[in-house]
Amino acid sequence: LPQHTCTWLQGIMTLYKYQGFWNVQNFSQKTILAQSYKAQPSDILVCSCPKTGTTWLKALTFAIVTRKKFDELASPLLTTLPHDCVPFLENHLEKIQKNHSDFPIIATHLPYSSLPESVITSGCKIVYIYRNIKDVLVSYYHFVRELVNLPLEDASFEAAFDEYCQGISSSGPYWDHILEFWKASQEMPERFLFLKYEDLKKEPTSNVKRLAEFLGYPFSTEEEKAGVVENIIQLCSFGNLSTLEVNKSGKYQADEHFALEHRLFFRKAKDGDWENYFTNEMKEKIDKLIDEKLHGTGLVLK
Ligand code: A3P
C-alpha cells in the first residue's frame, strides 16, 4: 500500500492508503473483515470522519432509540462509554455479529465505497455527521498528538495543516469521505440523514427531533410536553458526558491490541477554535481548497 510517515508527528505514525483513503496499517485488514457484516434493514449506521462529532451523535442516537427502555436517569450512557453503547463496525465486528440484537446502532469511519455490500442492499438507515473542516483539523491535531504522547511543542501545527490539506489524515481526504456519502444520499435520499455539527449545536431541539423522526422513533406530543427531547439533549451534552466518571477515567478498547484514554474524545467542543491556530494564509488556502472540492455540491464546510 502507498504509505506516508507523518512528519508533524516526528515520524511516530505512518498512514497507508487503501481504496483511496488513508488510515493506520491494520485498517485495510479491518475493512476486509468488515465485508462479512450482515446488515439488517432495521440497523442504524452512524457514519463520519474522525473528529466531526461521532461520539456526540452516537450518544444522541442511542438515547433516542433506547428511551422507552431506559429513561435519562437510568441510561447506560451514564456508566458505559458511548463507543461501547454504539460500537465501531471495523473494530468490533465479532461482538456485533454475535449479539446483533444488542446493537441496533453501529458506527463506522469506513468511506462509503468501502462499506460492506449488505449495508447498501439492506436498506438500513444511515446518519452522517460532518463539521467545519478547520475545527476538525484542530481537533484531529490534538487528538492524534495526545494519542502518540507527543508534547505540544514538538508537534508543528503548520506541518499538520499541510498534511491534512494534502488529504493525508486518518480516514482522509476529509472532503472525499463526505462527498462519497453525499453523492449516495442524492441517489437514495430516504436512506440518509446529513447532520452538521454546528447546526446540532445551534439548534439542538429541532435537529434532535429531525434525527428521531428519521430513525423511525419520533417524539410523541406527550413526550415533548414532558421535556423528553430536552432531557436527551442534556444527557448527551458535552458538559454532562465529559464529566461522567466513566468517560473521564475509562479506556476505550479499540481492538485487542489497542486501548486509549476515553477522555481524548472530549476536548473543547467549541465552534471556531480554529481561529486560535490558523494564520490568514492558512485560512485562505483551506477555504480555496474546500471551495474547489465542494463546488456545485450544495455542501458548505467553512
Ligand atoms: P474538539 O476537539 O473540537 O473539542 P469525534 O467524536 O468524532 O472523535 O469528535 C470529537 C470532537 O467532538 C471533539 O471536538 C470533542 O470535544 C467534541 N465532542 C465530544 N462530545 C461532544 C458532545 N457531547 N457535544 C459536542 N461536542 C462533543
Which pLDDT band holds residue 128 (cuts at 50, 70, 90)? very high
Q: Which pLDDT score, from 0 to 100, does residue 196 have?
A: 96
Residue 256: its pLDDT value, please? 87
Flag whether 301 is in a domain: no
* Any domain includes 26: yes
Average pLDDT in the 166-188 region? 96
How many structural domains comprise the chain? 1
What pairing do the DSSP bridges indicate for beta strands 125-130 and 192-196?
A: parallel
The DSSP result for 36-100, as a single string, is: T----TT-EEEEE-TTSSHHHHHHHHHHHHTTTTS-TTS-GGGTS-HHHHS-BTTT-HHHHHHTG
Residue 189 burial class via C-beta count within 10 angstroms: exposed 0-12, middle 13-18, buried 19 and up: exposed
Establish if 299 belongs to a structural domain.
no
Is 159 among the domain residues?
A: yes
pLDDT for 231 beyond 90:
yes
Indicate if 109 belongs to the active site: yes
Residue 302, domain member (yes or no) = no
Nearest atom (ligand 1) to Cα of 268: 4
* Residue whose entry in the numeric block shows the C-alpha cell 449495508: 119
CA of 168 to the centre of ligand 1 (A): 21
User: Is pLDDT above 90 for 252?
Assistant: yes
302, 290 contact by CB (below 8 A): yes
Residue 250, domain extent = 3-294
Given a cut of 80, is residue 89 above it in pLDDT?
Answer: yes
Confidence check: pLDDT of 72 > 80: no
Average pLDDT over residues 205-211: 98
Q: Distance, CA 52 to ligand 1 centroid (Å)? A: 7
pLDDT at 302 over 80: no
CA 14 → CA 47, 109, 208, distances in Å? 24, 18, 38
Give the pLDDT band of residue 177 (cuts 50, 70, 90).
Answer: very high
Residue 221 has pLDDT above 90, yes or no: yes
Q: Is 238 in the pocket of ligand 1 (CB under 6 A)?
A: yes
Model confidence band, residue 210 (pLDDT cutoffs 50, 70, 90): very high
Residue 183 above 80 pLDDT? yes
Any atom of ligand 1 within 6 Å of the Cβ of 81: no
Q: Is residue 133 part of a domain?
A: yes
- Mutate which of 46, 55, 77, 137 for ligand 1 pocket (most atoms within 8 A of beta carbon): 55
The beta strands (E) that lie in the chain are given as 3-5, 14-18, 21-23, 44-48, 105-108, 125-130, 192-196, 251-255, 258-261
pLDDT attached to residue 73: 80
| Cα–Cα distances in angstroms (integers) from residue 294 to residues 132, 173, 193, 277, 282, in the given order | 13, 13, 18, 23, 18
Report if residue 103 sits inside a domain: yes
Using a pLDDT cut of 70, give the percent of the chain over it. Answer: 100
Mean pLDDT of 242-248: 97
**55 C-beta closer than 6 A to ligand 1:** yes
Q: How far is the CA of 247 from the centre of ligand 1 (A)?
A: 12
- Asked if residue 269 belongs to a domain, the reply is yes
Domain CATH for 55:
3.40.50.300
- Indicate the average pLDDT of the chain: 96
Q: What is the pLDDT of residue 156?
A: 97
The arithmetic mean of pLDDT across residues 246-267, rounded, is 94
Q: What is the pTM of this model?
A: 0.97
pLDDT, residue 300, reads: 81
C-alpha cell at 91: 473494530
